[in-house]
Chain A
């Protein structure tokens, strides 16, 4: 491992400055495939997760298989136009503890808990498994966006702040999603701009100087210390490799055929309008995928203990989302609950519509992606773990059989879906985080 990295660094140094920058052109203008790209290169597969909190009232999530295809009801109605791209399910369970467990384990199947040393441990999430696989092919391995800041205080005996993320890059590292549209934009695009390249080049100069100093140290310390010193050197080499990606982007076998001109959000900080905030975040996500800056993206549309008041959707909605979700079977509250969930459906529909309209050389961005839309519980009133609402949109470049509704066998868990998707992406895993080794039949093409 150590020699591998240090050799790689040497390799990168010798090839620096030789390669042109097709990347930059593809962002700001029409792209010309480079001479080294193959004309038959296929557009890459993407994975997107759009999560909404607090579940959905059972009758507000309907999907029926008819002769003419899937028919959606309730909060899925706004997505009817994409029925032939969709796969809906029933019978998938998410048996984790309450609000916090059901969001933290949504893409990993494992709840979070402190281990014997007190370190909070969960499991790597599906999106991160894919990100780690593809990280060398894109500028950033993954993009994580959210709209509501983490809540403070305790919920039961666990911190509420764990309700803000569905992504874990390792069993002990929860990923904090980005809330500010401008910072999210910079995260994706700054390093790909001239200024970003210059900044990376500057950092690289520092790294070079330190590397030389460190190497010369080897002969002056005890041989027992070489292993430790090598850890330090490997860490420098790792950063070097990252900076090189920015300074010398590699020629890519595939470039997006459509030109885009990303607009940096004018406003610093978080917009006061939730509606505007949501739209901005979805736009940035779209841009990131479209420019192939990343192939994995997640959007957490609300904190699990959501305090957001959706009076901008309907003036009558005066309580916050979490409050509505605990409807106690009051018809008025259920109506409000459904109105909010429907709004999420409308947002997803906007994004899918845009993805569908982006042509990537015969197939659309939607065709080439798999979008997982859903929540960690069914009826928010009881935090119902059975039959949670999840739907897939897009076939991931033909991997999935779309336009169908699948009834999973009894006692199926969400992790089975994740395992099936992993296999569909070509990752041979025997089981999913030790939760299950069963897949969902009939999903993969």
Chain B
């Protein structure tokens, strides 16, 4: 029994003796064993450590018990007495809320695991001095329970992986040693190809080059690379006949390796660097018109509004009749029905277009002629409405076969008897489109220009400006001693410490055996290098130490943890030297290194990986309706933001409330900000409050929507879970998809309806309001005033009773009332990423300390980083800790 004694001291209740029986009596019926309501399960809690592991669940339970919501007041549920309720609340407060976390503190154990694909590529780059894109052919890493790919627990070593890694290591060694070969160039004048080719699908010559169009596939040509190495590819091209901007993809052996935006009406050079193996290869091009920036209409096309549908002239829609003897053939029936539907749809849209033209009405907000009419769609590039003749052809073809008449004859019949002519339809549509374009020239998408390719050159021995030519390696080719020196240097870089005797012996063993076999020092060195790059200390991440207790990881491991955290790579020379001298134990030195690393360009890999994985932004790729170039920009924006958050030591609260954004011309236009020129993303200060912070960014807004509509549920869950770090129970399996096609209700109205159902409201009251706050942002992240013709309602009441209207007020709310949640969330994510493992209750004291200091410090991001790397969790390992 818990009571407050005379001196205010409490005597703690014992969980097993006092509290568990209470839970068994009043809670387990719905929350344990067979029934587990809302994911809350008490049946597996037998001891204090079990409770602490599920701390968040107990904190939620505390809230519910205090408000009397739980146990629910139903006849079948036995209610605790007042004394029992008090005891339970007291105990939870004692043991779960105000626990002395220091008692349970443990540095935890980071699992042994391989490096991630990105870490491998970067590490090879840093060892050899040039980026040979090593590991680019490996399959992508999965995200672990932390939500990050560097969750070491989840990184497995698949059965064929060693073969793949060895192949990549050999390729890397061959590439850098390829610098010993003679330089090589290769060029092709495209006009020459056009002139001499006999194949009829060769691209045509135009615009002083050959022109690529979709129908010209496959257009490819072969070359033979004399040695494995880095080659610079230079393409000379221009655009013409349209906007001076267009997209071109380059494919090597069928895989995409580069995307260029071809700009300008004059021929210009476009360059890229490729890592190519010795041997025969093919290069081909793909034309991707969506890379051209296009100005989108401000509102997407809608279905025919009722008021227009009513005004349209009524006419009976005739159909081709089913021949008498086919009544029982299901397939025939379907074919006829389909063809008739398509003809009807075409006729309707033609009538509508004609009516609008006759009345001179081309300036109403919603466009008719949506995809809901099969066979009609809006061309992404030109914004013009088109018909897809294929549905009609395929249906007419099928019906013709069933009727036993030639297809051409059937089409003539459709023209004559039904009065439908596809050609007349096309003419009407064109007239409508032209009238519309005349009236709203700003609303018409610009057509991407054609691309003329002039010449292509390949050149070997390509090294980027920021890299060091690998020629120093070639000094290891004369005698064995030279090779040993080179291997020692490479080993030092790879392991961040000098090679041990047995390691050097192993590499030398490979070297000598190969030399004995093939009598080439270069090949011998190559094999030894490959062996180094797949050896355990390079390919695996682990901390050597006593296997049964906690120990401070050695300085080299500290350096490695730092570099894998902030650079996604191995330590550089400066870090290595400091580690060797034991200086990283000095907090001042460690802090200075963190500062240096954040300022380094390698920090951008961290910013990208951390931001994209934390915020689940890869969902953006599923947004099919967004143009590829806009998506690419949207992916960049949050990463840049987070990078500078750390670089400029800004407040973590900027994540929600920043007075600046990162835009370029395209993005500024999309966000309706004052125009900016140029392709590069740069920071602009904001004067209005519609943008700024993660919630104003297209990435978040678009990745949480479907193609047709926003999803306040997705957005709400994103805010509650990913931004504020609260746990939401999983949706029950029987919840159906929200259906909103063809209704006149806005998304908001639909969801309000659903929330009036008490079974759903329990959870949705905690989710939907957060999403409603963002309703002014459409599925592409653009600002909107209306949804389905009705004004947007972004006023809502959150689950803690606060009323907010729109993003601006919501920002204030987060800053005033949820700053703790936001901060705690960022800290736990950052810590999980830095450690490469999930956090447990044993990390709670670390988290609380970091929170406390971050708050006092004004929520500064860099300070948090400093404190994190100084924490015990980062610098210690307990090899006997269970995970």
- Interface residues of chain A, those whose CB is within 8 Å of chain B, are 118, 148-153, 157, 161, 176, 179-180, 182-183, 198, 201-203, 205-207, 209-210, 212-214, 217, 220-225, 228-229, 231-232, 234-236, 238-239, 242, 268-270, 272, 303, 307, 309, 311, 318, 320, 326, 328-330, 381-382
Contact = CB atoms under 8 A, between A and B. Distances in A.
Interface stretch (B275-283, B464-472, B477-485, B810-818): B275-283
9 contacts: A153-B286, A198-B518, A205-B527, A210-B531, A212-B506, A213-B536, A224-B109, A235-B163, A381-B397
Interface string B843-883: 00000000000000000000000000000000000011011
B795 to A, nearest CB: 35
Contacts of A183: 279-280
A329 B400 CA distance: 9
B566 to A, nearest CB: 25
Given A202-B527, A222-B880, A213 B503 contact: yes
Given A210-B531, A311-B200, A224 B882 contact: yes
A224 B527 contact: no
Contacts of B284: 149
A32 B296 CA distance: 74
B158 interface: yes
B536 A210 contact: yes
B318 interface: no
A311 to B, nearest CB: 6
Contacts of B547: 220-223
Interface string B495-524: 000000011001101100110011000010
B783 interface: no
Contacts of A330: 407-408
Interface stretch (B110-118, B301-309, B712-720): B110-118
Interface residues of B, number: 74
Given A235-B161, A269-B222, A228 B517 contact: no
B157 interface: yes
B344 interface: no
A6 to B, nearest CB: 13
A269 B162 contact: no
Given A149-B218, A228-B113, A268 B224 contact: yes
A164 B284 CA distance: 16
A268 B279 contact: yes
Contacts of A180: 222, 280, 282
Given A222-B547, A231-B156, A206 B279 contact: no
B439 to A, nearest CB: 32
Nearest to B285: A152
B249 to A, nearest CB: 7
Nearest to A236: B162
Interface in B231-273: 249, 251, 254, 256
A198 B517 contact: yes
B286 A309 contact: no
Contacts of B580: none
Interface in B526-548: 527, 530-531, 534-536, 539-540, 542, 544, 547
B544 A179 contact: no
B93 interface: no
A151 B218 contact: yes
B201 interface: yes
Interface string B528-572: 001100111001101010010000000000000000000000000
B364 interface: no
B713 to A, nearest CB: 17
Nearest to A161: B254
Contacts of A328: 393, 397, 407-408
Given A179-B282, A209-B506, A222-B879, A232 B200 contact: no
Interface of B: 109, 111-114, 156-163, 166, 170, 199-201, 214-215, 217-218, 220, 222-224, 249, 251, 254, 256, 279-282, 284, 286, 288, 393-394, 397-398, 400-401, 406-408, 502-503, 506-507, 509-510, 513-514, 517-518, 523, 527, 530-531, 534-536, 539-540, 542, 544, 547, 622, 624, 879-880, 882-883
A222 B288 CA distance: 51
Contact of B156 (A148, A202, A228): A228
B535 A234 contact: no
A213 B156 contact: no
A229 B112 contact: yes
B251 A152 contact: yes
B112 A221 contact: yes
A232 B157 contact: yes
B39 to A, nearest CB: 19
Contacts of B401: 329
User: Which 4 pairs between the two chains have the least Cβ-Cβ distance?
Assistant: A269-B222, A268-B280, A225-B112, A222-B879
Contact of A329 (B200, B279, B407, B513): B407
Nearest to B143: A117
Given A205-B513, A206-B166, A213-B506, A153 B214 contact: yes
A242 B400 CA distance: 57
A306 B367 CA distance: 37
Contacts of A118: 622
Contact of B162 (A179, A220, A228, A235): A235
Contacts of B534: 206, 210
A278 to B, nearest CB: 15
A269 B281 contact: yes
Given A228-B113, A228-B157, A232-B114, A268 B397 contact: no
Given A228-B157, A309-B199, A210 B540 contact: no
B557 to A, nearest CB: 12
B514 A382 contact: no
Given A234-B159, A270-B280, A328-B393, 10 more contacts: A157-B624, A202-B523, A220-B547, A221-B544, A228-B112, A229-B540, A232-B157, A238-B162, A381-B394, A381-B397
B111 A224 contact: yes
Contacts of B880: 222
